[in-house]
Amino acid sequence: MASFVPTKQFLGAPSSSDVGSYRLGSLQLPSKLSSSNLHILFRPSHPKRLEIQAAGNTYGNYFRVTTFGESHGGGVGCVIDGCPPRLPLSESDMQVELDRRRPGQSRITTPRKETDTCKISSGIADGLTTGSPIKVEVPNTDQRGNDYSEMSQAYRPSHADATYDFKYGVRSVQGGGRSSARETIGRVAAGAVAKKILKLYSGTEVLAYVSQVHQVVLPEDWIDHQTVTLEQIESNIVRCPDPEYAEKMIAAIDAVRVRGDSVGGVVTCIVRNVPRGLGTPVFDKLEAELAKACMSLPATKGFEFGSGFGGTFMTGSKHNDEFYMDEHGRIRTRTNRSGGIQGGISNGEVINMKIAFKPTSTIARKQQTVTRDKHDTELIARGRHDPCVVPRAVPMVEAMVALALVDQLMAHYAQCMLFPINPALQEPLQSSTPESAEVTL
């Protein structure tokens, strides 16, 4: 609203000859008023220019992770805020997970050669976290920006090239910039910290494996989720714990790789020894948080939890997980079609989910597209890309699931562990097993 203020002349104020031409609502200013003692503050009729700022680069409320960097920039990494102090942590903890994610592992992954060697530059003192932000950096050493010269003008079909331009009006062309899977380095590094917290605090273990490549599908319940190990998953280049199906999956990827094409697949993720009570009702249900975390990964197109879509073919009497008392006096469920979560809250059973990944968008085959200046054209994309993303997506899924669980663990601890628990209904969050570690300073 315009107002009257006695003030000195200022730049852009109306002159005395202009005063009589301004109206405030229905009030006509008398032209005899002098501008020496009366001025009008007014809003310009044109809208203010707004500046677009990038967002959506941070995940978590209590254990917060911000990733940074582009695929062919100087490097990538993350900043972890909210990590509990006195956690034993080193670069080697992260490097193990980054080595599982890095390119150039085998013939069925991108041939880009990167060591993905990480460096922690803050938040650690004498091998322990200090409670301050932890910055992790990984340099890009095998950059080939010229491989993307054609893509600076033509949009790759089903990639993020066009939508980034639609949103921001500018984008990093080389390697897709932030839309590249190389952004996930920061997630995997942070996920290594989250996995360590879960393991030390409650003995919780997060494992993922490839359960489908193209039309090769691992049969349901083929893998025992109570006993499957990381060693079984890592025993082959496709990360399927069953050797027979692993060979079939590798053959399916090889078949399209030599033709310059790509295929998709499914990653199954399980979580064992989950504390009860994680997640909250309504909007922040645990499965909803897990879905958001996993679906934020590049190339994801589907998410199933527990019985998933298959449960729609069952009746309630067949689908319900009946309760019973086990030999240790704990309430358990005989089946686990709920996937370890009921009412949005973890019940202590194994959490299980499936994440679908589409075929890699960038392929070495001629495709129809348009240019940035809106002309039809053809494109054969260059660069180095995975013929199937699912083998390298395994540690990425584990990382995002771990990040979601740690964030929920800290939220639950803050709300529900402030006062003594009700031992008749609740259990301590911390594991009573030897896997739980105590750090002595």
For 312-340, write each residue's pLDDT tens digit: 999 999 999 999 999 999 999 999 999 99
Separation between Cα atoms, residue 96 and residue 20, nearest integer Å? 76
pLDDT at 73: 80
Query: What is the separation of C-alpha 252 from the centre of its chain, rounded to a whole number of angstroms?
Result: 28
328: buried, middle or exposed (CB in 10 Å: 19+, 13-18, 0-12)?
A: exposed
Q: Show the tokens assigned to 195.
A: 């996995």
Look up the pTM and report it.
0.84
- Which CATH code is given to the segment(s) 58-417? 3.60.150.10
Sorted by sequence, the CB contacts under 8 Å of residue 12 that are 6+ apart come out as: none
pLDDT at 342: 97
pLDDT at 14: 45
Contact, 52 vs 31, CB < 8 A?
A: no
pLDDT at 135: 98
pLDDT at 27: 46
pLDDT at 10: 40
pLDDT at 108: 82
**CA end-to-end distance (rounded Å), the chain:** 61
Separation between Cα atoms, residue 428 and residue 433, nearest integer Å? 12
pLDDT at 152: 74
Name residue 75's beta-bridge partners. 139
DSSP annotation of 178 reads G
pLDDT by residue (tens digit) across 164-178?
889 888 887 766 778
Closest CA to 265 of 300, 306, 230, 311: 300
pLDDT at 79: 98
Separation between Cα atoms, residue 380 and residue 398, nearest integer Å? 33
What phi and psi values does residue 413 have, to the nearest 5 degrees? -60, -45
Q: Show the tokens assigned to 319.
A: 């689908």
Can you list the residues of the chain whose pLDDT is less than 50? 1-27, 29, 33-35, 52, 432-441
Q: Hunting for tokens 């499965």 — which residue is that?
A: 287
Closest CA to 87 of 406, 405, 404: 406
